[in-house]
Amino acid sequence: MPFLNWLPKINGRDLRADFIAGLTGAVVVLPQGVAFATIAGMPPQYGLYAGMIPAIIAALFGSSRHLVSGPTTAASVVLFSALSIHAIPGSPDYVTLALTLTFMVGVFELVLGLARMGALVNFISHAVVVGFTAGAAILIAAKQLKYFFGVDMDNGGNLTELLFRFTQHLDGINAYAVLIAVVTLLSGIATKRWLKRVPYMVVAILVGSLLSVGLNAWLGTDITHIATVGALPDSFPPLSAPVLTLENIKMLAPAALAVTLFALTEAVSIGRAMAARGGYNINGNQEFIGQGLSNLAGSFFSGYVSTGSFNRTGVNYESGAKTPMAAVFAGLLLIFVVVLVAPYAAYLPKAAMAGVLFLVAWGLIDWHEIREIISFSKRETVVLAVTFFSALFLDLEFAIFLGVMLSLVLYLEKVSKPRILTRTPDKNLPNHAFSTDPDLPQCQQLRFVGVEGSLFFGSVNHMEETFGKIRVEHPQQKHLAVICEGINFADLQGSHALYKEAKQRQADGGNLYLINVKEGLWDALEACECFDKEGSRNVFQSKSAAIHAIYQKLDKSLCEGCTTHLFKECSGTVATHAKS
C-alpha cells in the first residue's frame, strides 16, 4: 500500500498544488472521456465513469507520483475491435461484455504484479507501440467518417471495409455536419498552436457546440439534422458487475490478454517518462498491481478498461502536481463536475466529437519516432510495418500479439548468431593489442577468435558450424584460443559445445583455450563438469599469460621457418635455434 508512505508526508502547500492540478485534470477529461467512450462503442457517460474510481485506486496503489489513469484511445480502440463482433456497440449486452473484459484485465494485471512480472512489458518493443498506435490512429479517424460527414453507415470492420462503405454513402453527406466538424477541427488546431496553456479539446467542443446551437436556432433541426450525443445521466457512477460465465471468459480471454499487455506497456512507459522528468523512480510491479486493482474496481463502478493516460498525465505534471493526491482529486472532482454539466451534453453534436477525434488521431501518429526507427534499423522497421498494417487490416489485439512475436523472433534470430571474429596481434597498436583486421598475418599453428554473445541452445549450432569451418579451412591451426570477454553466460548445451570442441582439437593434436572467462561462463562450465582439472589449465584470465603458456605447446620445428613473429616469445625461439 504505497499511499501509506506518501500520504502522511503531504503538507498544505503540496495539497493546494495537487487540488489545482486535480481540478484541471477533471475539466480536461470531460471531452476526452466522451470521445474515448465513442471510440470504444460505449455510451458516452461510461468514458467519464472510467476516469473516476479507477483513477483514484490507481493513484493510491501505484508507485508513480504523476501518472493519471482512465480511458485512453488505444484501450478504447482495442475494446471496440474485440467486442463489436460479439454484440452491438452501445447495447446492454455490449456494456456487460465490456465490464467483464475490464474485470478480466484487472485480474491479469494484478496476478502479473503479484508474481513480480513487471519486466514483462520490456518484451513489447518500442516499434510495436509506435506501429500499433499509428495504425489505431488511422482507424479512429476512419471510424469517425460517419459522424464527420453525417452519413448513415455502419462504422465497423477494418479500414478497407470502412472506406468502401463510405464511398457508397457519398450522396448522403450532411453539409451542416461537415461544417461543424471542420470548424471544430480548425478551432482545435488554432488553440493547440497559439493558446498552448488552454485545453484545446474543451475549446474545440465548445466552438462546435455553439455553432450547432446557432444553426439549429436559425434553420431548425428539421433542416440541419445534426445528431447530438444526448443528455448524460447526472448521477454518481452506478454500481455494476461483470458476468463471468464460462462462455464469456473463453470468448474474451485472448482480447483480455492483448489489452492487458498494451495497457500495462502504456501505463509503465508513461510512468517511467514522468519519473525521469520528476527525478524519481517507479516500481513496475507496483504499477501492475495499481492498474489491476483500478480495473477490478472499475468493473463494479461502470468503468471500462482504464490505463495510464498520456494526455491527462502530461496535464497533471504541467499543472504542478506534487503527489498522487492530484490524481485522487481529479477522480473525486470529476464525479461532481459530471453531475453539474451532464444535462448540457444534449447540445454536444457528434460531428464536433468527430472533429476532435480527428485531432486526437493525428496527434497519435509519432512521425519523429517513425522516421527514427526507419533510419535506425531494418529489423525494427519490419516490426513497425507489420504491426501497423496488421492494426489496419486485421484485429487490433492480433496486431499486438503479431508485433510482439515478430520482435521476439527477430531478437532470437539475432542472438542465435553471436559474432565470432578472428583476432590477431597488431604490431602497429600499443602493446601489440588484438585487432580484427582480416589482412593481418596469422600464426600458422594458433588462431585467436573472439565470441560476442552468450552461448545457449539457440546459438550453439552457429558456434559449432563456425568452429568446424575453421578446422576445415585451416587444418594446420590445431590450437584455438577463444577470447571470452563477450560471453556473459552459457547454458548446459553451450558448455557441452565448448567441451566437444576441446576434445576434437585434442584428437587432432591441438587444444582449446579460454581467455578472460566471466563468472557466468565459468560457473556453467563447473556445474556441468565439462572442464576437469587438466582442462582448467587451459583457462586464462589474461592474454599475455595465455600466449606464454600456449606457445610452449606449439611445434617448434614449424616455428623455425616462420618469419611473422607475432608474439614476443617468437623472437627468443628463433635466436635459440640459430645459436644451436
**What are the two backbone dihedrals, phi and then psi, of residue 200, each rounded to the nearest 5 degrees?**
-65, -30
Band of pLDDT at residue 156, cut at 50, 70 and 90? low
Band of pLDDT at residue 576, cut at 50, 70 and 90? very low
β-strand partners of 490 = 455
Q: What is the pLDDT of residue 574?
A: 44
The C-alpha cell 571474429 sits at 421
Top pLDDT among 269 and 185 is at 185
Give percent of the chain above pLDDT 70: 93
pLDDT at 578 > cutoff 60: no
pLDDT at 324 > cutoff 50: yes
β-strand partners of 446 = 479
Q: What is the pLDDT of residue 121?
A: 67
Q: What is the mean pLDDT of residues 138-149?
A: 85
Q: What is the pLDDT of residue 565?
A: 73
Q: What is the mean pLDDT of residues 432-448?
A: 81
β-strand partners of 8 = none
As a whole number of angstroms, the distance between CA 382 and CA 131 comes to 10
The residues near 558 (Cβ < 8 Å, ≥ 6 apart) are 444, 445
Q: Taking the domains of the chain in order of start, what are their residue ranges?
A: 12-232+239-372, 419-571
Q: What is the mean pLDDT of residues 124-152?
A: 83
Band of pLDDT at residue 307, cut at 50, 70 and 90? confident
Q: What is the pLDDT of residue 24?
A: 73
Top pLDDT among 528 and 306 is at 306
Beta strand 539-540 pairing with 479-486: unpaired
Q: What is the pLDDT of residue 35?
A: 79
pLDDT at 175 > cutoff 80: yes
pLDDT in tens, 40-50: 889 888 988 98
End-to-end CA distance of the chain: 83
C-beta atoms surrounding 344 within 10 Å: 11
pLDDT in tens, 542-554: 888 888 888 888 8
Q: What is the pLDDT of residue 571?
A: 65
C-beta atoms surrounding 35 within 10 Å: 26
CB 100 within 8 A of CB 250: no
DSSP code for 343: G
Top pLDDT among 35 and 468 is at 468
Strand, coil or helix: what is 173?
Answer: coil
Top pLDDT among 259 and 562 is at 259
Q: What is the pLDDT of residue 532?
A: 61
pLDDT at 575 > cutoff 70: no
Q: What is the pLDDT of residue 273?
A: 61
Top pLDDT among 300 and 362 is at 300
Helices (H), 492-542: 492-507, 519-527, 533-536
CATH architecture, domain defined by 419-571: 2-Layer Sandwich (3.30)
pLDDT at 570 > cutoff 70: yes
For 7-72, list the strands marked E by DSSP.
69-70
Q: Which of 126, 78, 71, 121 is nearest to 308 (CA)?
A: 71
Q: What is the pLDDT of residue 300?
A: 93
The residues near 550 (Cβ < 8 Å, ≥ 6 apart) are 446, 479, 481, 513
What number of residues does the chain have? 580
Sign of CA dihedral 522, 528, 529, 535: negative
pLDDT at 520 > cutoff 70: yes
Query: CA–CA distance from 9 to each of 132, 324, 327 (Å)?
Result: 40, 12, 17
pLDDT in tens, 488-502: 888 888 888 888 888
Q: What is the pLDDT of residue 531?
A: 67
Band of pLDDT at residue 128, cut at 50, 70 and 90? confident
With vertex at residue 70, the alpha carbon angle to CA 20 and CA 388, rounded to the nearest 5 degrees, is: 125
For 351-431, list the strands marked E by DSSP.
419-425
Q: Which three cell numbers stand for residue 361?
A: 488521431
DSSP code for 416: T
As a whole number of angstroms, the distance between CA 27 and CA 575 comes to 89
**How high is the mean pLDDT of the chain?**
83
pTM above 0.75, yes or no: no
Q: What is the mean pLDDT of residues 231-240?
A: 79
Q: What is the pLDDT of residue 580?
A: 29
pLDDT at 97 > cutoff 90: yes
As a whole number of angstroms, the distance between CA 521 and CA 228 comes to 67
